[in-house]
Chain A
Amino acid sequence: MGVGSDEALFQSLLRLGDNTLVLGHRLSEWCGHAPALEEDIALANTALDLMGQTRHWLSLAGEIEGKGRSEDDLAMLRDVWDFRNVLLVEQPNRDYGHTLMRQFLFDHFHLLMLRGLSESSEARVAEIAIKSVKEVTYHAERSAELIIALGDGTDESHRRMQDALDWLFPYVGEMFETDAIDTEIAAKGIAPLPADLRPAFDAQLGAILDEATLTMPSDAFAHKGGRTGFRHTEHLGHMLASMQWLQRAYPGAQW
């Protein structure tokens, strides 16, 4: 495939930073709209954690790329086709059940990935992961608790959570997709192979969904194309339009 080593690391860092950027922005869309004040603040905290992680990943990505692009340049001045986040995180918030289910599915992947990255042979990557893993441990605990409470809650909450799971499950597979970039990065001990994280994810997901009385969909079909940038869903462009408009309309604006 001819990916140079810096290019592979750059792409891997974009995958990490774009996941947290896009999901962080999605969560921030709830700010002031969540169903309870306590949930509003909790989601905003999670969004801020993810934004903080984004800053680390994207500024390191810019450094590795070596073209003088800052974290802000990468976040605000790339268009859809240059984003490398998985399709799951760009899915719209829909209702609160969908938002929580999306968070739950991502958190448990994210936690496993960060634990692996904490032992990275690349010191700068390990450092970011070690800091992030504490935040994400809390995210994963919180989302699991809510999935259990709502799945095993009222008829309506159960139905909404099962709908959300059925809707979002086809976006799970992409998180564990493994290509030449992942293989190269894993061979150097920089990051775990995503595919290797799947068994632990499935076990954890199964246990929590059981407790939540939710049924894991059996269809293994997976939408793909986000982390390669090959084909994002139509939702990302709309999200970027609202996220990036200020830097696009007033380049270099600061306050």
Chain B
Amino acid sequence: MPDSPVFMSIRDLGRLVRDREVSPVQLAEIFLARLENLGPDYNAVVTVTGERAMQQARRCEQEIASGRYRGPLHGIPFGVKDLLATSGGIPTTWGAAPLRNQTFDYDATVIRKLEAAGAVLAAKLAMVELAGGAGYWQPDASFTGPGITPWDKTRWSGGSSTGSGAATAAGLVPFAIGSETMGSIMSPSSNCGVTGLRPTYGRVSRYGAMALSWTLDKLGPLCLTADDCGLVLEVIAGPDPKDPTTTKRTFSYDDADVGSRRFRLGVLEDVADNTDRATRHNFERALETLGEVAEIEEVSFSDLPHEAINYTILFAEASSAFDEIVDSGMLGELTAPEDRFGSYSRVAVLAKDYIKAMRLRRLMAENADEVMSRFDALVGPSRAGIAPPLHQDFRKASRGGRKDVMLSVGNGAGLPAISVPSGFSSEGLPTGIQFMGRAYEENAILAVARSYQSLTDWHQRHPPDLLSS
């Protein structure tokens, strides 16, 4: 067994498990202990699923001993954002105090698929209450406390997949599942310095996941490397009769060596405007690095009201998705004061505006596809800035009215994107860049990200105080 499996990639851990240099039971014990002991430092964990994990790990160990190796996830512990249903009496809280005892009698499809591949569910991870669907303004919006980035205990982990980002960055799990409606994988990936993949809409079944916005919600992995994201996506992707939005297009991870491959990258004009100094500096440096392996061209999308389209859809759908919760009066028990009334306004979104937004969304998607068809990926900052302080009021952190077009077009058109670490600020906080691809072209953005990670070592940096923990 190596000195420590912590901060090893899934790829490397999988080889050790396959070659019986480390056992699934050993891995489970190590990561369960970290979840228990270090999880509270980052408000990253809701429930450690120790009993289920050890049962699964022992089963994996027997299978591998008898020569039945299932693949690179066999015996690898993982965590999931606590909006994925779990059976067996394990609570699924959606991050909300009034739902802290909520249980389901089935497992979300993503969990079922991961366990079928031999992965070991070790934890339900913290999240912003209702995945931010009540309209939070600041980090302290979960009954488990504000998510904390392992790089600085005074800074936010990003959200709403707070625990998925923090737990992966702190080495509490080798990988985690998060969800994104509008930025909730990109944000914690950037703030926590990990690699997060938002798959194409419909690529991954959402059966068993809390719905916030049916036409925007996606599930995806947060890992230490782009390669690991590909390994996980191959397992969780695929059609599911229980989620009618899943695509029949299959996904097979192409992990071929990117060695001498050259890429075509697009950069939206002004994409780094009104980002903070470190984000902009590191983005510009990343472009220089990418210039070694790619032709880079400036591009633009058509002039549509991208943000009005997306947020009108999001608010209208969230209004219906949380109708029962709103009517129940449960909102009053939420953690963030603004979440106790934020949802009430959504009844004022007009049906005609929702339909108009959905019609404009078609134009947005057609234009995005036309633009993106010429590129392997568009590249831009993952977020406008480094992780904000835990007491930050987001509304006061204005970025000069910055429009995040990649966020709006990417989510509105359902396009895949991957956030990778791109460096650090002077305070030692990570920054991220994202590669966004054409629909169903996860392999293209994974290849670009792997190529970038072969030229840099940002993804191999870990919080110093955790390297010896």
Is this pair of chains taken from one and the same complex?
no
Residues of B within 8 A of A (CB): none
Interface residues, chain A, with chain B CB atoms under 8 Å away? none
